[in-house]
């Protein structure tokens, strides 16, 4: 496999450079003196930013984009074998790296490399670790899967030995990583187009944890069923956190919530209060994320004052219970939730905040996930008063598996919930304009482009 060496910068071409992770990796290499180019099917704010920074950006993907002198090409899981640039690279003998392989090699250049994994909560927890390290003056390099306002985007180029990134389990991509500290937030059924079942997913996380060196550190949620059995042979030091009452190294005590659902609590490490936090994001799940972030930050040398300054008032990233605005007295919020557990957490939070009617516009993400977790989706969405369903966002998938959002609407109806399915965003927007009344809360939810509905209603 081709090896990236920060001491010997070369020319790197990214096939699919517009993705949130790919764009971040491109910026990291650019900062280290590499010549960077890349292409994507369409330009975006991320590609515009890279272009301004000095990256050669191509709109559309063609073999001719692979200029003479390219030393290595990087591609994502979304790039198919018939991609003209991928085919041209193979024909010309240009070395190839997957996005995960490149990220893993970048990690090897940092003595302190943190990988945040879990079925959900990765972006929030990575952002929380970032905020603490910035408050501590650690000057980290960061790659996060969302837009974090404090770093002005999805990547931050630091000048220290510390690198922090998310670690996604899909296609076992994180098995290419080389962390010194790994965080496992939770292990739940997801990505069942790749994994066979929950046992397969648990084994994947086990393999990820075993990649830690003997002197490394595993930070894991003690509320994961049978986590000790799962991680018993990892071999490195293990630190635990818990929200549900399990015996753990890090716990939250004296939790209270304000009228906006924001938690205040003490972080207790083995009986000692190490911080008192007052978060600026709602929900119990964010208390758990904060515990994991504090454990990681302390392992990197952050003290109490930095933890409190970093997380007090923490406001989150874009598309995580993000207030978009108000329309005629209707509050519109957007959230990235696309797994039943995330949906339940978001809607439970909304229920705590809002006593009037709660609308949820949900766009299912991938046919495989929707089919495998159909009942769980219906149960979670039933926490809303009325649900509006958009067409399934296929992402990388082409096989519909014979299902649609209409099937989910029928499941909801069987639970006694009002559910409405429309084929287009225009139809959804028109329907909402005739139904919403002042004082109600509307949440647009999903990992696709459902955010556009709220933004269109608000004239954004």
Q: Which residues are marked as active site? A: 122-123, 166
Structure-block tokens of residue 265: 């609590």
By three-state DSSP, how is residue 147 classified?
strand
Q: What stretches of 157-293 adopt beta strand conformation (E)?
A: 162-167, 181-184, 217-221, 237-242, 250-257, 262-269, 272-282
On the 0-12 / 13-18 / 19+ scale of CB atoms within 10 A, 100 is buried
* Helices and strands, counts by H and E, the chain: 15, 21
Contact between residue 278 and residue 264 where contact means Cβ atoms under 8 Å apart: yes
* Contact criterion met (CB below 8 Å) for 114 and 92: no
Beta strand pairing call for 56-59 and 141-148: unpaired
3-class DSSP state for residue 342? helix
Phi, psi angles (nearest 5°) of residue 129: -60, -40
Contact 30, 89 (CB under 8 A): no
């Amino acid at each position: 496999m081709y090896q990236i060496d920060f001491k010997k910068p070369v020319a790197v071409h990214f096939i699919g450079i517009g993705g949130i992770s790919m764009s971040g990796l491109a910026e990291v290499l650019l900062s280290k003196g590499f010549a960077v180019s890349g292409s994507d099917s369409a330009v975006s704010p991320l590609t515009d930013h890279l272009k301004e920074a000095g990256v050669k950006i191509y709109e559309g993907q063609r073999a001719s984009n692979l200029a003479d002198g390219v030393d290595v090409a990087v591609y994502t899981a979304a790039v198919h074998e018939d991609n003209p640039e991928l085919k041209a690279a193979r024909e010309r003998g240009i070395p190839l790296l997957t996005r995960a392989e490149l990220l893993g090699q970048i990690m090897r250049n940092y003595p302190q490399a943190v990988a945040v994994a879990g079925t959900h909560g990765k972006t929030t927890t990575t952002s929380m670790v970032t905020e603490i390290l910035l408050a501590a003056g650690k000057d980290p390099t960061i790659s996060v899967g969302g837009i974090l306002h404090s770093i002005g985007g999805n990547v931050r180029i630091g000048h220290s030995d510390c690198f922090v990134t998310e670690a996604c389990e899909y296609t076992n991509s994180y098995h290419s990583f080389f962390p010194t500290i790994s965080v496992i937030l939770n292990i739940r059924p997801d990505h069942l187009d790749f994994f066979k079942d929950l046992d397969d997913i648990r084994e994947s996380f086990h393999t990820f944890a075993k990649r830690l060196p003997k002197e490394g550190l595993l930070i894991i949620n003690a509320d994961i069923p049978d986590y000790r059995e799962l991680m018993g042979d990892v071999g490195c030091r293990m630190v635990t956190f818990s929200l549900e009452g399990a015996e753990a190294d890090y716990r939250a005590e004296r939790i209270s919530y304000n009228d906006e659902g924001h938690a205040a609590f003490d972080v207790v490490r083995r009986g000692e209060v190490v911080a008192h936090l007052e978060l600026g994001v709602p929900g119990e799940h964010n208390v758990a994320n904060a515990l994991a972030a504090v454990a990681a930050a302390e392992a990197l040398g952050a003290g109490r004052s930095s933890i409190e300054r970093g997380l007090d008032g923490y406001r989150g990233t874009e598309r995580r219970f993000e207030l978009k605005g108000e329309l005629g007295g209707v509050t519109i919020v957007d959230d990235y939730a696309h797994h039943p557990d995330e949906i339940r957490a978001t809607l439970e939070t909304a229920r705590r905040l809002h006593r009037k009617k709660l609308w949820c516009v949900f766009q299912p993400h991938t046919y495989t996930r929707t089919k495998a977790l159909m009942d769980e989706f219906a149960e979670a969405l039933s926490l809303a008063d009325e649900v509006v369903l958009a067409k399934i966002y296929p992402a990388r998938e082409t096989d519909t598996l014979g299902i649609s959002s209409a099937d989910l609407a029928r499941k909801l109806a069987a639970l006694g919930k009002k559910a409405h399915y429309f084929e287009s965003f225009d139809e959804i927007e028109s329907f909402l304009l005739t139904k919403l009344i002042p004082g109600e809360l509307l949440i647009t939810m999903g990992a696709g482009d459902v955010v556009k509905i709220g933004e269109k209603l608000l004239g954004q």
